[in-house]
A and B are shown apart, each in its own frame.
Chain A
Amino acid sequence: MKLTLKVWRQKSASDKGRMESYTLDNVSGHMSFLEMMDVLNEQLISERKEPVAFDHDCREGICGMCSMHINGEPHGPDRGVTTCQLHMRKFNDGDTIYIEPFRAKGFPVIKDLVVDRSAFDRIQHAGGFISVNTSGNTQDANAIPVPKHDADKAFDAATCIGCGACVAACKNASAMLFVSAKVSQFALLPQGKVEAKRRVLNMVEQMDKEGFGNCTNTGACEVECPKGISLENIARMNREYLKASLSSE
């Protein structure tokens, strides 16, 4: 198929940036979206132009690097997939495709489609961990009984790959789905109880500091999340936060 691509080009963080238009012939429906981008870059290189910078790593939907806002949606029109798992058969011959970086104050653009998502790392550092004694007498995790239902929910939350699609989709650029997944995976387990209070307060504080917006429950994040992280996690985090704010240490 033949496609018109409108791609965000920006030389550096300080450059203003603009949309540029390219045409690509011979795109196969079997290609993944990133393979299509590779073809575009080969074409640009052969024309002695600067290739489009974009993030990617695993190309199998597990690393969360491939951030692209495609035709107005993070990771494009398909559901439950990352950009690397999106196939060109989802598009039609003659389509125009808009490709932009994830937009949020907390995710500044580094170059072209590459954004800086280290804000997520700093949120994790603020509380996304448990402290265990690893000095040789570590208790086997399986020795602590956990109800199956809780274990399942914690595992579901832990499948978040930190891709940032939730932020990119949200009209408020809110990071609540990501943070709530990271809070929930521990809040549901006995291992996470010790630091529960500090965790939720510190992570939410860091989230606000990074400039992410406030949740107004539109649900866009849940729809766009490639891992199907549920809004239930946001409600759980709200509960944890209320509890933590009302009690004293």
Chain B
Amino acid sequence: MALSALFLLIFLLQHFAINITSVFRADTFNELSHFMGTNPIVQYVFQPILIFGVIFHFTMGFILEVRNKQSRDIRYVKYNGNANASWFSRNMIWSGLAILAFLGLHFVDFWVPEINTKFIEGNWEGTMAGIEGLRYHTELVHKFENPVRVAAYCIAFVFLAMHLLHGFTSSFQSLGANNKYTRGALRKFAVAYSILIPAGFIIIALYHHFNIH
């Protein structure tokens, strides 16, 4: 659980780093996307690891939730969860489910068309053309035209922030790291990461939505 989570945290950072370039320079975004979309190591090594990591993470999350629910077979009549633990930490399954729903949308939006074009239709044109002909940035901008999609996207990232506000430091505790450093500097970094990265994704979405190219 903790290892898959840490892996996802690193992936998220990398994903953000590429996406943010789309705001500054379309060509950079295209080049990077082109690299990620055609590099065999990324496509055939990292991509399967990522898919496995995501599936492993949420499957384990569900199993954990079910087992833990069974550990208290008779519920309290009155249970004051707010008194001793944060709402985020008690509702990881709900923030997680919101992220999962978003991942579904994300797959339908970006990943399925991409795999379809490349592998099923066998059309590698967009990826073969010179830098000027690359389609990634255009597609991206196109996706963010629909306000409903942009809203769903933004809400999902708020849930991601909630998930990470607990999850980031939780994964260190699970791996046995609880010391001055993890309670001090790392804790601050975790809070910053958990708020800034999702906020960054939201800003990218809003930028493309409101910015008429």
Q: Which residues of A contact B (CB under 8 A)?
A: 6, 8, 19, 69, 71-73, 77, 98, 100, 103-106, 109, 169, 171-174, 211-220, 223-224, 231-232, 234-242
* Residues of chain B with a CB closer than 8 A to A106's CB: 71
| 10 CB < 8 A contacts A-B | A72-B81, A73-B84, A103-B75, A105-B70, A172-B71, A218-B85, A220-B84, A231-B173, A232-B178, A240-B176
Known: A104-B72, A169-B84, A236-B176. A72 touches B79 (CB 8 A): yes
Partner of A174, one of B68, B74, B83: B68
11 more CB-based (< 8 A) A-B contacts, given A100-B78, A213-B70: A77-B83, A104-B72, A109-B74, A169-B84, A171-B72, A172-B68, A172-B71, A173-B72, A211-B71, A214-B67, A234-B178
Residues of A within 8 Å of B76, CB to CB, are 69, 72, 100, 103
Residues of A with C-beta under 8 A to B173: 217, 231, 234-235, 238
Write the B63-95 contact mask toward A (1 if CB under 8 angstroms, else 0): 010011011111111111101111001101000
B197 CB to nearest chain A CB (Å) = 21
**Nearest CB of chain B from residue A6's CB, rounded to whole Å:** 7
What is the distance, in angstroms, from B49's C-beta to the closest C-beta of chain A?
22
- Given A171-B90, A239-B176, answer yes or no on A71-B72 (Cβ-Cβ < 8 Å): no
Contacts of A104 in B (CB 8 A): 71-72
**A110 CB → nearest B CB, Å:** 14
Nearest-neighbour CB distance to chain A for B134, whole angstroms, equals 43
Query: How many A-B contacts if CB must be within 8 Å?
Result: 110
Asked if B17 is at the interface of the complex by the 8 Å CB criterion, the answer is: no
Q: Judging by beta carbons under 8 Å apart, are A216 and B89 in contact?
A: yes
**A219 and B85 form a contact (CB under 8 A):** yes
Interface residues on B, range: 20 to 34
* A217 interface neighbour in B70, B75, B80, B170, Cβ under 8 Å: B170
B72 pairs with A73, CB closer than 8 A: no
Q: A171-B90, A231-B173 are in contact. Are A105 and B85 (CB under 8 A)?
A: no
| A173 & B176 in contact (Cβ 8 Å cutoff) | no
Residue B38, interface by CB 8 Å: no
Give the dominant DSSP class at B's interface.
loop
Among A98, A172, A237, A241, point to the contact of B78 (Cβ < 8 A): A98
Is B177 an interface residue, CB under 8 A from the partner?
yes
B174 within 8 A of A: yes
Structural contact, B175 and A238, CB atoms closer than 8 A: yes
Contacts of B64 in A (CB 8 A): 214, 216
Interface string of B44-72 (1 = CB under 8 A from A): 00000000000000000000100110111
* Top 5 A-B pairs, shortest CB-CB distance: A72-B80, A213-B71, A239-B176, A235-B178, A172-B68
Within the complex, what minimum Cβ distance (angstroms) separates B195 from chain A? 19
Structural contact, B83 and A73, CB atoms closer than 8 A: yes
Q: Which residue of A19, A109, A169 contacts B77 across the interface (Cβ within 8 Å)?
A: A19
Contact indicator B72/A105 (Cβ below 8 Å)? yes
CA gap between A223 and B89 in the complex, in Å:
14
Contact partners of A173 in chain B: CB under 8 A: 68, 71-72
CA distance A235 to B183 in the complex (A): 12
In the complex, what residue of chain B is closest to A230 when comparing beta carbons? Answer: B178
Please give the distance in Å from B107's CB to the nearest CB on chain A: 27
- Knowing A171-B90, A218-B86, A236-B176 touch, does A212 contact B71 (C-beta < 8 A)? yes
Query: Closest approach, in angstroms, between the C-beta of A201 and any C-beta of chain B?
Result: 15
Nearest CB in chain A: distance from B59 CB, A: 15
**A73 CA to B170 CA, complexed, in Å:** 23
Report how far A238 CA is from B170 CA in the complex, Å: 12
Are A71 and B78 CB-contacts (below 8 A) given A213-B68, A213-B72? yes
Q: How far is the CA of A236 from the CA of B173 in the complex (A)?
A: 9
Q: A103-B75, A211-B71, A238-B173 are in contact. Are A171 and B85 (CB under 8 A)?
A: yes
- Residues of the A chain whose Cβ atoms lie less than 8 Å from the Cβ of B70: 105, 211, 213
